[in-house]
Structure 1
Amino acid sequence: MNNIYLITKREFLTQVKKKSFILLTLLAPLMIIGFGAVIGLMFKANESHNVIEVVDNSGLFKGQLKSDDQLEYVFVPVADEQSKLKHLKGNETLDGILILPQISSQNFDDIEKNTRLVVNTKIGLDTKQQIISDISNVIKKEKIKQLGIAESQLNNLDKNFELKTINVSEDNKEDSDLAFGVKTALSMGLMYVTFMFIIIYGVRVMRSVLEEKNNRVVEIIISSVKPFELMMGKILGVTMVALTQFIVWITMSVIGALVLNTGFSSIQKNIPNGNEEISEKFDLAQIATQVSHSLLDLNFPLIIFVFIVFFLLGYIFYSSIYAAIGSAVDNETETQQFTLFAILPLTLGMYGSFSLMNNPDGPLGFWLSIIPFTSPVAMIARIPYGVPAWEIALSIFLLLVTTVFMIFLAGKIYRVGILMYGNKATLKELWKWIRS
């Protein structure tokens, strides 16, 4: 045990003393936020403003097709239809002409069948769908009016309402749409971080083992320690590195949520009543306040506990596989035939967890969070929604037992493979090492 501790300490200190580790740990949250902002700006930059001239032969749509930031309707006289079509090509200020046919006897079939959009440039699918939606809404309103329904009654029909959800299993806590959105975002974020870090740090263990094997340094090391102690020391050392980063990030996240919750709340109280211009400027601050409230309402101690436990066990489980792979091959090219066995179960758990947004307590979510190969990502994806204690306990027990068994198998492979050179390992060969 003392040798495992010394190797773990060496691996840990070697990583955390690097300037790159310190900078990445402190700047990673800001980099993620910045990356998300860049993605948002990219979508914003790719938005287009289309100008569509409308020839309304029916006289029905003028005043009812409303322009917005992405789509501008300009009504032109019916008599100018041919002239407009003739000069459309090459017109840089106009994107297309929408021709709405004449209707007879309030029969809207002609509009639905003969409406044309003539364009001089490629318009996006979203723009086309918006035009279809705008025309359909006008036709829908006119059809309803034919039934004798007044405008006020029509507006009342389209009135939305918010369904308040009260969960009796969570002390009658109200679960709003925003709170559910926050849970979903947290679920996907934690799941993706776990998935990526298990793979990233698992590969780091594999490369470290492979490098020491190729440099023959391992022959000197195992003269003082047992191969199993060396393997466990490497795994636990890198585990502590990852855990240190998570603790820093969790602390920064909680502090950030508290700052948003208190800071924006005090600003919101000082906004003068009735000053709509100032209130609009603080809409983003209000949303941030509501998000922070929703975050702080979650059972953070349980979420952090489950996250750390499942990440640690999942990481040790898969790092054992990666360490065994690194010891069994002579170069990184040969690792590709074995790493698939580690990546596939995790990928299955991650993509399967996307369905949890619709039904966190469904049979798929249950089994993915119980089976040890997928539970490190699936249980973390479920925990923000709330999971019964017995399911958490059962999943931890099964994952712990499977992890211990995987360490035993990996140790068998590592013990033989770490000193094997020039012998291309096969599944049959690995099976012999396990049985030896």
Structure 2
Amino acid sequence: MNNIFLITKREFLTQVKKKSFIILTLLAPLMIIAFGSVIGLMFKANESHSIIEVVDKSGLFRGQLKSDDKLNYIFVSAADESSKINNLKDNESLDGILILPELKNQNFDDLQSNSRLVINTKIGFDTKQRIVSDLINVIKKEKIKQLGIAETQLNDLDKSFTLKTINVSENNKEDSDLTFGVKTGLSMVLMYVTFMFIIIYGVRVMRSVLEEKNNRVVEIIISSVKPFELMMGKILGVTLVALTQFIIWIAMSVVGALILNTGFSAMQQNIPGGNEEIVSKLDITQIATQVSHSLLELNFPLIIGVFIIYFLLGYIFYSSIYAAIGSAVDNETETQQFTLFAILPLMLGMYGSFSLMNNPDGPLGFWLSIIPFTSPVAMIARIPFGVPVWQLALSIVLLLGTTIFMIFLAGKIYRVGILMYGNKATLKEIWKWIKG
């Protein structure tokens, strides 16, 4: 036991003393935010502004088609139709001409079949769908008007319905759409982080074992410690490194949510009541405040506790597999045939968990969060929505038992494989090591 502690301490201190670890730990949250901002800017940069001239022979659409910063409608005379079309190819300031025929005998089907859009460049699919949607809305309003329904009545028909949800299992707390969105976002973030870090740190253990094996350093090390102690020391050391990063990131996230919740609320209270321009500019501030408030309303001690338990057990479970793989092969090329067995269950759990957002308590969510191979990811995805205590306890017990069993199997493979050189391991041979 003392040897395991010494190896764990060495692995941990070796990693955390690196400048790269400190920089990455402190800057990773900012890098993630910056990455998300860059993606958003990329989508924004790819947006186009289209100018469409409209020849409205029906007289139905003038004043009804609304322009904005993405699409600008310009109505022109029907007499200029031919010349406009002829000059369209050389007109770089115009993207297309929308020609709407006369409306005869209120035959909207005939109007639709004879309407056409003449373009001089490739218009995006979203722009075309926007034009179609605008035309449909105008025709819909006209049809309803012919039925004798006033515009105020039409607006009343289109009024949205907000259904309040009261959760009796959470002390009759109201669940808003924003709260559900926050839970979904938190669920996806926790699930993806768990998935990525189990793979990243698991591969790190495998490469560390493989490097020591190829350098023959392990022959010297196991003269002083048992192979099982060396394996467990490496796994636990890297586990503590990952746990240290998570604790720092969780603390930064909670502090950030508190700052958003208190700071932005104070800003809103100090806004002059009549200054609509300032209020409109702070819409994003209000959203950030509501999101941070919804985050703080969640049962964070439970979520953080469950997250840490499942990450630790899931990481030790899969790191045992990675350590066994590293000891059984001689180079990274040979690891590819075995790492698939470790990655596939995690991928199954992650992609299967995307369907849990709409029904966290469904049969798929239950079994994915109970089966040990997928529970480290699936249960993390479910926990923000609330999980019955008995399911949580059953899942942890099964995962703990399976992890201990996997450590036992990996130890038997590691004991033999760590000293095997030049002999390509096969599944049949690994099975013999386990039996022996």
Please confirm whether the aligned pair reaches a TM-score higher than 0.5, indicating the same fold: yes
Alignment of 1:58-137 (within 5 A): 58-137=58-137
Q: Distance in 2 between matches of 1:267 and 1:103?
A: 54
**AA partner of residue 378 (structure 1):** A
Q: Deviations over 1:45-64 (max 9, x none)?
A: 11000001111111100000
**AA partner of residue 303 (structure 2):** I
Q: Distance in 2 between matches of 1:378 and 1:47?
A: 36
Q: Deviations over 1:191-210 (max 9, x none)?
A: 00000000000000000000
| Residue 31 of structure 2 corresponds to residue 27 of structure 1 | no
**AA partner of residue 7 (structure 2):** I
Which secondary structure state, in structure 1, belongs to the residue aligned with residue 63 of structure 2? coil
List runs of 5+ in structure 2 lacking aligned partners: none
Q: Give, in angstroms, the shift of residue 159 of structure 1.
A: 1.1
- Which residue matches 1:295? 295
- Which residue matches 1:147? 147
Q: Distance in 2 between matches of 1:274 and 1:54?
A: 39
- Aligned pair count reads 436
Q: Distance in 2 between matches of 1:392 and 1:328?
A: 35
Check the 8 A contact 1:102/1:110 in 2, yes or no. no
| Residue 258 of structure 2 corresponds to residue 258 of structure 1 | yes
- Which residue matches 2:53? 53
- Which residue matches 1:402? 402
| Residue 220 of structure 2 corresponds to residue 220 of structure 1 | yes
Following superposition, which runs of at least 4 residues in structure 1 exceed 2 angstroms of deviation? none
Check the 8 A contact 1:260/1:292 in 2, yes or no. yes
**AA partner of residue 16 (structure 1):** V
| Residue 309 of structure 2 corresponds to residue 325 of structure 1 | no
Q: Deviations over 1:412-433 (max 9, x none)?
A: 1000000000000000000000
- Root-mean-square deviation (CA, aligned residues, Å) is 0.7
- Which residue matches 1:210? 210
Q: Give, in angstroms, the shift of residue 161 of structure 1.
A: 2.7
**AA partner of residue 336 (structure 1):** Q
Q: Give, in angstroms, the shift of residue 150 of structure 1.
A: 0.8
Q: Distance in 2 between matches of 1:365 and 1:309?
A: 19
Q: Distance in 1 between matches of 2:114 and 2:213?
A: 74
- Which residue matches 1:177? 177
Q: Deviations over 1:357-398 (max 9, x none)?
A: 111111111110000000000000000111111111110000
Which secondary structure state, in structure 1, belongs to the residue aligned with residue 286 of structure 2? helix
Which secondary structure state, in structure 1, belongs to the residue aligned with residue 99 of structure 2? strand
Q: Give, in angstroms, the shift of residue 111 of structure 1.
A: 1.9
**AA partner of residue 38 (structure 2):** V
Check the 8 A contact 1:15/1:21 in 2, yes or no. yes
Q: Distance in 2 between matches of 1:371 and 1:328?
A: 26
Q: Deviations over 1:145-187 (max 9, x none)?
A: 1111011111111111322111111111111111111111100
Which secondary structure state, in structure 2, belongs to the residue aligned with residue 99 of structure 1? strand
Q: Distance in 1 between matches of 2:280 and 2:265?
A: 15
Q: Distance in 2 between matches of 1:112 and 1:336?
A: 57
- Which residue matches 1:15? 15
Q: Give, in angstroms, the shift of residue 409 of structure 1.
A: 0.6
**AA partner of residue 210 (structure 1):** L
Which secondary structure state, in structure 2, belongs to the residue aligned with residue 207 of structure 1? helix
Q: Deviations over 1:73-118 (max 9, x none)?
A: 1111011111110000021100011111112111101122121111
Moved more, 231-240 or 146-155: 146-155
TM-score (norm 1): 0.99
- Which residue matches 2:43? 43
Q: Distance in 1 between matches of 2:345 and 2:195?
A: 11
List runs of 5+ in structure 1 lacking aligned partners: none
**AA partner of residue 350 (structure 2):** M
- Which residue matches 2:272? 272
Q: Distance in 2 between matches of 1:359 and 1:274?
A: 44
Q: Distance in 2 between matches of 1:161 and 1:276?
A: 27
Which secondary structure state, in structure 1, belongs to the residue aligned with residue 121 of structure 2? coil
Check the 8 A contact 1:258/1:292 in 2, yes or no. yes
Q: Give, in angstroms, the shift of residue 339 of structure 1.
A: 0.3
- Which residue matches 1:424? 424
- Which residue matches 2:308? 308
Alignment of 1:182-193 (within 5 A): 182-193=182-193
Identity among equivalent pairs (%): 84
Q: Distance in 2 between matches of 1:163 and 1:154?
A: 21
**AA partner of residue 189 (structure 1):** V
Q: Deviations over 1:311-370 (max 9, x none)?
A: 000000000000000000000000000000000000000000001111111111111000
Q: Give, in angstroms, the shift of residue 259 of structure 1.
A: 0.8
Q: Distance in 2 between matches of 1:100 and 1:401?
A: 71
Q: Distance in 2 between matches of 1:395 and 1:387?
A: 11
Q: Distance in 2 between matches of 1:398 and 1:378?
A: 14
Which secondary structure state, in structure 1, belongs to the residue aligned with residue 348 of structure 2? helix
**AA partner of residue 234 (structure 2):** K
Q: Distance in 2 between matches of 1:107 and 1:166?
A: 49
**AA partner of residue 117 (structure 1):** L
- Which residue matches 1:166? 166
Which secondary structure state, in structure 2, belongs to the residue aligned with residue 60 of structure 1? coil
Which secondary structure state, in structure 2, belongs to the residue aligned with residue 132 of structure 1? helix
**AA partner of residue 188 (structure 1):** M
Q: Give, in angstroms, the shift of residue 292 of structure 1.
A: 0.8
Q: Deviations over 1:26-75 (max 9, x none)?
A: 00000001111111111111100000111111110000011111111111
